[in-house]
Structure 1
Amino acid sequence: MKNYKILLLFLLFLMVSCNRKENHPYTFYYWKTQLKLDAEEKKALDEATVPYLYTRFFDVDKEAGEFQPVAVITKNKNFITDKKIVPTVFITNKTLLGISGEEIKFLAESIHHLVEKKSEELHLKINNEIQIDCDWTAGTRDDYFKFLKELKKVSGKEITCTLRLHQVKDKKQTGIPPVEKVYLMCYSTSSPLEKSDKNSILDVSILKSYLSKIGDYPIKKIEVALPIYSWGIVTNHLEKHKLINALSQKDLNHPDFKKISENEVEVQKDGFYFGSYLSKGFTIKIEEISQDQLEDVIRFLEKKIPNFNIIYYQLDSKFVGDRKF
């Protein structure tokens, strides 16, 4: 009888363990050009369990041979948060093409100085980290990795970087960045501007195939970036596509739209919709990510990556209002 009770308790423990949902600390990316929080965004950020806000400071591009900072961040005077800011800088792959050793040093110094200048100017409490976001390729990997090392040298900060799905799958070609921590971008599984039945923001089957061996990735500290954003893909009579950001299913409920599928409508009347002029016959397809899809990805990654934080892209009242984090 005693052994029976022990066995029963053991089976009960197994059932509870298997059904227990792992809680991951989480926070957000902030990707607008002005730091400004409305009430819903502030509430979501205050409730986030990671003490950082990953904030895009500026982009870097190269035009006519010159490095250019693009859309440098500003701040509304009413922006207040207890979170430390992690400066995040997006660098176009074009910026790294044909770059010289002297230019790598200049780029690293320039980015460091602009991050410091904006942090001081905007009175931001920043973390000792700079995150670089770049869709580097096999052709730019060596120079990009040199840049990451140089930025660490000139800034004295921890340098981290984003990691896209193809950079995991094709790691022999794209290489392993010289950082101690990466942020795995679990979105953009295909192009939204190509005709496809798949969800271009996140197709879970594609993600799983690309990340089947993520557990073997040489950098062991991996945080996970998950999408909560949505958009509408407009297709005209010539099958050309364009994006309208932040549209959702509820935006399709309009008297001038005819529903042609669960997530797609046809415009019935010429006019301005969502800030764009759309002609009769244009279609709008909504792409958004369900809670079930996110949980499917999380469960998959829990088997591959130990103890990861989640950074949701992005903090916006249009995306955080109905979400459970």
Structure 2
Amino acid sequence: MKVLSYLLVFLFLASCSKKEKHPYSFYYWKTNLKFNNIEKEVLAKANAPYLYTRFFDVDKVNGKFEPVAVITQDKSFKTEKEIVPTVFITNRSFINIQKEEIPFLAKKINDLIKKKTADYNLKVNQEIQIDCDWTAGTKNDYFEFLKQLKKISQKEINCTLRLHQVKDKNVMGIPPVEKVYLMCYSTSSPLENSDKNSILDLNIMKSYLSKLEEYPVKKIEVALPIYSWGIITNHLGKHKLINALSAKDLDNPNFKKISDTEIEILKDGFYFGNFLNKGFKIKVEEISQEQLNSVIEFLDKKISSYNIIYYQLDSKFVEGRKF
């Protein structure tokens, strides 16, 4: 009986020490709503009931607000998940915005969300997410826009939160929402000459979020990166991004391996849809599961009971991953 008792105690302690997995889902950030079989399967296994779907972007062109890259839908886009309409707005849309333009912009955005929802018979929830890299100079107008959108839409309005907006909260202000989506990526610019991973550097992230537990909003959800890209560097040291490259794409007899993540081109030619010259270099940046685990371990000490939204749902990024 003693052995059995010890065994039960051990199992109990083990179960308590094992961290509870966070519910997770995905961002969907393509203009044409279209699933392949891999994406359908991965999404179906996600244990959070939502799919955060970008509907369109908003920019200011020649002084006028314009929707950009508005979604279209393919018949393959079917899911039991509730769609959370997500809209990206450029920060410059709020620079020198007039007071009367703020409710106008909120109404136009809400109208277009409603139109696309009806056009494609989408099952949306009672939330709209706004993505904007606001600054100290635009915060007041942006925050007023969020209030106006809530009033006009009669929905829960939430927004994304970037790392620098956490670190510099006294300057950047606190958005008037009950829930934010913390974007734990883009820790530096990929166009800088740096040996750091610009998608996610854990030390940089930790420095920005050292006082995350003090951020005064009711709820924080977490967006984590699973995307990758290649950074091309030419003879003049100028850079260009190629989306969705991974280390396995660097296996080519016309490439000289510099490291596990970097090559030099040995022969002029078309590579990844671009004509690249001999001597150009390509560096791949991607995120491992170990890196994601380290981020989650850090965040678990700062906030509790959060959902994870992976950016983004694309077979190039989700195939072979264990969520």
| TM-score, normalization by structure 2 | 0.97
Q: Secondary structure at the match of 1:285?
A: strand
User: 1:134-145 alignment to 2 at 5 Å?
Assistant: 134-145=132-143
Q: Residues 84-108 of structure 1: CA distance to partner in whole angstroms, max 9, x if unpaired?
A: 1100000000100010111111100
Stretches of 4+ moved more than 3 A in 1? 4-16
Aligned length: 323
Residue 256 of structure 2: aligned partner: 258
Residue 92 of structure 2: aligned partner: 94
Q: Residues 23-78 of structure 1: CA distance to partner in whole angstroms, max 9, x if unpaired?
A: 11100000000100000000000011111100000000001100010000000022
Q: Tell me, yes or no, if the aligned pair for 2:128 and 2:158 is still in contact at 8 Å.
A: yes
Unaligned stretches of 5+ residues in structure 2: none
How far apart are the structure 1 equivalents of 2:102 and 2:208? 31
Match of 2:129 among 117, 128, 131: 131
Residue 188 of structure 1: aligned partner: 186
Identity in percent:
69
**2:78 is aligned with 1:61:** no
How far apart are the structure 1 equivalents of 2:126 and 2:8? 47
Residue 17 of structure 1: aligned partner: 16
How far apart are the structure 1 equivalents of 2:87 and 2:14? 45
Query: Cα distance, 1:215 vs. partner?
Result: 0.7
User: 1:293-312 alignment to 2 at 5 Å?
Assistant: 293-312=291-310
Q: Residues 225-258 of structure 1: CA distance to partner in whole angstroms, max 9, x if unpaired?
A: 0000000000000000000000001000011110
Residue 155 of structure 2: aligned partner: 157
Match of 1:322 among 308, 320, 323: 320
Match of 2:273 among 272, 275, 295: 275
How far apart are the structure 2 equivalents of 1:203 and 1:305? 20
Q: Residue type of the partner of 2:165?
A: Q
**Over the residues paired in the alignment, what is the CA RMSD in angstroms?**
1.7
Match of 1:200 among 198, 201, 204: 198
Q: Residue type of the partner of 2:273?
A: G
Query: Cα distance, 1:12 vs. partner?
Result: 6.6
Q: Residue type of the partner of 2:241?
A: L
Q: Residues 158-194 of structure 1: CA distance to partner in whole angstroms, max 9, x if unpaired?
A: 0000000000000000000000000000000000011
How far apart are the structure 2 equivalents of 1:28 and 1:5? 43
How far apart are the structure 1 equivalents of 2:7 and 2:45? 39
Q: Secondary structure at the match of 1:100?
A: coil
User: 1:67-82 alignment to 2 at 5 Å?
Assistant: 67-82=65-80
How far apart are the structure 1 equivalents of 2:226 and 2:10? 37
Match of 1:173 among 158, 171, 175: 171
How far apart are the structure 2 equivalents of 1:220 and 1:212? 18
Q: Residue type of the partner of 2:131?
A: D
How far apart are the structure 2 equivalents of 1:78 and 1:14? 46
Q: Residue type of the partner of 2:62?
A: A
Q: Secondary structure at the match of 1:101?
A: coil
> 1:8–1:41: structure 2 CA closer, same or farther, 3 Å change rule?
closer
Q: Residue type of the partner of 1:17?
A: C
Q: Tell me, yes or no, if the aligned pair for 2:36 and 2:76 is still in contact at 8 Å.
A: no
Q: Secondary structure at the match of 1:131?
A: strand
Q: Tell me, yes or no, if the aligned pair for 2:224 and 2:308 is still in contact at 8 Å.
A: yes
Residue 148 of structure 1: aligned partner: 146
How far apart are the structure 2 equivalents of 1:216 and 1:10? 36
Q: Residues 191-225 of structure 1: CA distance to partner in whole angstroms, max 9, x if unpaired?
A: 00111000000001111111111111100311100
How far apart are the structure 2 equivalents of 1:100 and 1:324? 48
Q: Tell me, yes or no, if the aligned pair for 2:85 and 2:127 is still in contact at 8 Å.
A: yes
How far apart are the structure 1 equivalents of 2:4 and 2:267? 71
How far apart are the structure 2 equivalents of 1:245 and 1:68? 25
| TM-score, normalization by structure 1 | 0.96
How far apart are the structure 2 equivalents of 1:193 and 1:184? 23
